[in-house]
Amino acid sequence: MKNVCKQAVYIDSPALWALSQINPFYCSGIFSNTDTKLFMRWNALTEAQRLFTKLPKNLDIHKVSRKKISNLPVEKGGVQFYPFNSKSNMNAVANRDVFHVLTLHGESNKRASFRPAARIYDYVTIAGPLARDRYLQAGIFSQNDVDSGRLIMMGDSFTQTIPSFRSASEQSQRPTVMYCPTWEGYGSKADNYSSISGGFGFEALEKSARILNIEHICVKPHPYLGLLQPQILMKFAAGLRRLSSKGFRVEIISNESNILLRAACKLLAASTPNLNISLGKPIDIALAICDISGMESVFLKQGIHHITIGDLKNIPSQIHNIYGRKSITKQDDCETKLQQYLTYASEIDSLHYAEVFGWHNTELKTMSCSDRNKWLLRYIQSNPFWSKDTAGYTE
């Protein structure tokens, strides 16, 4: 087979915007166009989206049809990575000449982060102790899987960095309150973590900005918001208009959003005072407010103080104490909760970070992302879990 590679990333997503969630890992160096080819399942729907979607310029995307999924040009003993737990992955893992590794594309407490389908992969990379315990408590993996090395702690390697986000300081000219609502999710209400659906997100945002005496607000919705429930965009628009009517200066980050959301944001910006589309300039974040989502780990990684909207029932029991100090619900006194968090924010976030991020090998923490990739490749190809030479092997 010509042009085979040692490692590859395979993506199957109905939305071409999914590439924006993978691009940060190529920018960081954990993947590279030279060493890790990017294959994406391509069909008529994907091609149609090219008419209104800008692809990341630095990504070298290789289109693959449904018939080719189980035979990607990866050399024998090579590694295929999967940032999405998609249905067609079942066909891809049928190729037993290569190793299959689930990475996902972030770290969160959503149910999508610990589905039983994770067992179809040879190895699963995880951010740290919290992800490990989620899999164990759900009965998806056993303690033997952990002890024998099937779950690989890679810290913040697969948590994206957003270069324009930075923590505000006393010298910041324009401190900002950031709001990152997640999307409505697939399936049942149990998969909907969006604070827009419940109507509390914008209320908490406004209260927090008032408490901090900040007039500049930045809103970064999940790229998929409104794809499954377009009516949620009406609530989103109403919330933005309300902020504008209260005198806040609002900036929307929508460049990576789906076409419906981008269109809605453009219409709002054209018709609403004090509402603008972000130009991508650095944002000094005094406080971020987010839903239970991957944005929590992004803010942890970048040292940005943040508070989460969500019930403790959706949070693993071992971190209830932490979330009890940095989460809010509609029933809480927002001002009291926020003041308590901000008083001890660095301490609370430090405890949270230690639960979320951990390392399979302590040397990984100080390695560059490209070196982490090399380490991970060597580890997987040494096959510690499935090898007959290890305790993890079963006949």
**Model confidence at 187: pLDDT above 80:** no
Task: Determine the pLDDT at residue 395.
Answer: 29
**Model confidence at 243: pLDDT above 80:** yes
The closest of 167, 224, 177 to 201, measured between CA atoms, is 177
Q: Quickly count: other Cβ atoms within 10 Å of residue 331's Cβ.
A: 7
Show me where the domains of the chain are located. 5-159+357-382, 165-355
**Model confidence at 159: pLDDT above 80:** yes
* pLDDT mean over 378-387: 96
**In this structure, which long-range contacts are made by residues 312-320, counting pairs with CB atoms below 8 Å and at least 24 apart in sequence?**
314/109, 314/193, 315/109, 316/109, 316/130, 316/133, 316/134, 316/137, 318/130, 318/133, 318/355, 319/130, 319/352, 319/355
Q: What is the pLDDT of residues 82-107, one digit of tens each?
A: 999 999 999 999 999 999 999 999 99
Please say whether the beta carbons of 117 and 353 come within 8 A. no
**H or E element that contains 275:** strand 275-277
Percent of the chain with pLDDT over 70: 97
Task: Determine the pLDDT at residue 190.
Answer: 74
Q: How far apart are CA 262 and CA 297, in angstroms?
A: 25
| Both structure tokens of 378 | 């060597």
Please say whether the beta carbons of 217 and 176 come within 8 A. yes
**pLDDT confidence of 393, banded at 50, 70, 90?**
very low
Task: Determine the pLDDT at residue 50.
Answer: 87
Q: How far apart are CA 369 and CA 294, in angstroms?
A: 19
**pLDDT confidence of 188, banded at 50, 70, 90?**
low
Q: What is the pLDDT of residues 226-237, one digit of tens each?
A: 988 899 999 999
**Model confidence at 390: pLDDT above 60:** no
Q: How far apart are CA 265 and CA 379, in angstroms?
A: 45
**Model confidence at 391: pLDDT above 60:** no
The position carrying tokens 């000449």 is 97
- What dotted CATH number matches 5-159+357-382? 3.40.50.2000
Q: For the chain, where are the alpha helices, taking DSSP H only?
A: 19-28, 44-49, 89-92, 129-137, 143-147, 195-198, 201-212, 232-245, 259-271, 295-301, 320-326, 334-343, 345-356, 369-382
The closest of 119, 218, 101 to 158, measured between CA atoms, is 101
Q: What is the pLDDT of residues 23-73, one digit of tens each?
A: 999 999 999 999 999 999 999 988 988 888 888 989 999 999 999 999 999
* pLDDT mean over 276-305: 96
**Model confidence at 264: pLDDT above 50:** yes
**Model confidence at 19: pLDDT above 50:** yes
**Model confidence at 14: pLDDT above 90:** no
- DSSP-assigned beta bridge partners for residue 287: 177
Domains 5-159+357-382 and 165-355 fall in the same CATH topology: yes
Provide the mean pLDDT of the chain: 92
Chain-centroid distance, C-alpha 111: 13
Q: How far apart are CA 115 and CA 383, in angstroms?
A: 23
Instruction: Answer with the residue of higher pLDDT: 292 or 192.
Output: 292
The closest of 386, 382, 375 to 155, measured between CA atoms, is 375
**Model confidence at 377: pLDDT above 50:** yes
Percent of the chain with pLDDT over 90: 80
- What dotted CATH number matches 165-355? 3.40.50
With vertex at residue 150, the alpha carbon angle to CA 373 and CA 161, rounded to the nearest 5 degrees, is: 40
